[in-house]
Amino acid sequence: MAAFFTIVVVALNPGEKLKQTLHSALSQSEPSLRIIVKDAGSKDGSVAAARAELEEEQRITWITRQDAGIYDGMNQALDAMGDPGEGVVYFLNCGDLLHDGQVLLRVKERIEQARKEAGIEGQPGIYYGDVVESRSGQRVAANPRMDRFACFRNVPNHQALFYDARLMCAERFDTKWRVRGDYEQFLRCVLEKKVRAVPLGITICDYEGGGFSETPRGREISAAEHRQITGRYYSRGERFRYRLYLMLTLQPLRRRLADSPLTAGIYHKIRSGILKA
């Protein structure tokens, strides 16, 4: 019987962060899980050290193969998944940690409940929660409804997303995107394929952040890819209205407030209250 959770960890010279992330997953109280570690050919010895330490752990599959970037690595891990069953796939970056030892147990309960309540248990869905930013210590709440405007602004971090495994087998990441591949895949599933996006209302992950997408060059690429991707899934009129709204509501200022250690706490508390309302 296939595990309910398949956790994919993509690595390239991750240092000690790989072990930390793997122990975070292995310490979960929910037993029905497996982990696929996709290594792109690390040279720092970290993957070999983690593999030696966890060689007795039967729930881990180790794959070492060159790839063309993180999304290609994720797709290669999916290729190794085999029969997806009725479980879900979760992508966890090195350095990111599940919020506590009960996370997957709570997620499974809520996914099963959501499937029963919908009355369409056989239809794939995407399930999402909140994250805690490790640098600021603040909980970042996800939008409770993924309508077209919410998807235009942003979608939940992939560290907060659980994809129906059957969906991921059918809808892989497009490797042409450098930093927005998960964003494009989410829009394709929700806006084009009409896949249900279901909020779980719980904190999933302590998100490290600080990767390439948050560097000045990464932000530049991200903005360019956002324009290209939204041009594919939104009309010109929608893009104009949504961008005008974001400009009038001072999105650049709000982003600076969210990123600053001095203002992040109050900003996210206000934002969470607005989303709940």
Domains plus CATH for the chain? Answer: 5-276 (3.90.550.10)
pLDDT value for 4: 95
pLDDT value for 214: 78
The CA distance from 185 to 163, in Å, is 11
CB neighbour list of residue 54: distance below 8 Å, 6 or more residues apart: 22, 26, 60
pLDDT value for 251: 66
Residues in the chain, pLDDT under 70: 1, 119-122, 250-277
pLDDT value for 252: 61
| 91 burial via Cβ count (<10 Å: 0-12, 13-18, 19+) | buried
Closest-CA residue to 108 (of 88, 126, 83)? 88
Amino acid symbol at 242: Y
Tokens (6 digits) for 164: 């129906």
CB neighbour list of residue 93: distance below 8 Å, 6 or more residues apart: 9, 10, 21, 159, 208, 211
Q: Tens digits of per-residue pLDDT, 59-91? A: 999 999 999 999 999 999 999 988 777 899 999
